[in-house]
Amino acid sequence: MNPYAIIAVIVFALFLLFSGLSAWIIAFQPEERARIAKAVDRWHDLVLRIMQRRDERAEQDREIEEIKREYGG
């Protein structure tokens, strides 16, 4: 299996985990809500950045392969 796919699955699972965790915290722990929700938001931002970088790298890899095919490299 493609290593990028494995990383994407792990990152997506973490994204879902923290989404569920933030929903539980907001519903059942109002006194800790702001602090923990902020931390979860940071995790979401990190996950989104990782996914964006993965997509950018995959796009670069596709462009490199296209250039190699075009110029016979």
CB 11 within 8 A of CB 47: yes
**Calpha distance 61→67 (Å, rounded):** 10
CB 13 within 8 A of CB 50: no
CB 9 within 8 A of CB 1: no
Q: For 43-59, what is each residue's pLDDT tens digit?
A: 889 999 999 999 999 99
Q: Where are the alpha helices (DSSP H) in the chain?
A: 3-28, 33-71
Q: For 12-43, what is each residue's pLDDT tens digit?
A: 888 877 777 777 666 766 677 777 778 888 98
Comparing 72 with 59, which gets the higher pLDDT?
A: 59
**Calpha distance 66→64 (Å, rounded):** 5
